[in-house]
Amino acid sequence: MGTHYSLRLVTPADAQDLLAVYSDPRAVPLFSSDNCGGDDFHYTTLERMQAAVAYWLAEYAEEGFVRWSIIANKTQTVIGTIELFHREAADYFTDCGVLRLDLRSDYEQTEAIAEILALIVAPAFSLFDCSQVATKAVPAATERIAALQDAGFTATAEQLIGHHDGTAYGDYWVRRV
């Protein structure tokens, strides 16, 4: 638990708060939907958000990935999610913890992102048995990029190759153990 934010496994009760995140037109373009089978994570109904949460929990049960809710401690509001999974592949991003950070746009600030990353990045190496953690940050995500740099991430020109159809994805930042 950090000063302003904490993490816990996503729950079905989070769907209402998460709808404010995943329906936010300023936030959605900053999310990573790489290799997600066409899902752009833009959800505009509570039913669709509930289905997404149910899917995330099913993936957790099958050890596909874990998705945590990010809680603003002061208000106890869910303001985003972090997804993490261990990736083995025939590209640069092998033995890698892939991190997806989805935040409500009013929290897309360097200081907030830095505090949230501090909760999970260092433990991710042992939790996910990986030698590097990678996350996507599109060029427009200037606050996120500043937080990643402050957290020891460096930009890489390497592309993550999707396992569904071989699509190459860029704009990744990496931190090694």
Using DSSP's 3-state secondary structure scheme, residue 93 falls into: coil
**Contact by Cβ (8 Å): 146, 139:** no
Q: What's the CATH code, domain 5-176?
A: 3.40.630.30
**Number of other CB atoms surrounding residue 79 within 10 Å:** 21
Is-contact 171 126, C-beta < 8 A?
no
Residue 155 sits at φ, ψ, to 5 deg, of -70, 145
Residue 42 has a pLDDT of 75
Looking at residue 35, what is its pLDDT?
Answer: 59
pLDDT confidence of residue 31:
80
Query: What does the pLDDT read at residue 34?
Result: 59
Q: Which residues contact 89 (CB under 8 A, 6 or more apart)?
A: 96, 160, 161, 163
> By C-alpha distance, which of 85, 26, 18 is closest to 52?
18
- pLDDT for the residue 162: 87
For the chain, what are the domain ranges?
5-176
**Mean pLDDT in the chain?**
93
Average pLDDT per consecutive 10 residues, the chain (177 residues; last block may be shorter): 92 98 89 64 89 96 97 98 96 96 96 98 97 96 97 97 85 95
Residues 159/93, Cβ–Cβ less than 8 Å: no
pLDDT at 29: 81
HSE-up of 84 (CA within 13 Å, CB side)?
25
Nearest C-alpha neighbor of 163 from the set 51, 2, 36, 4: 36
106: Cβ contacts below 8 Å, ≥ 6 apart? none
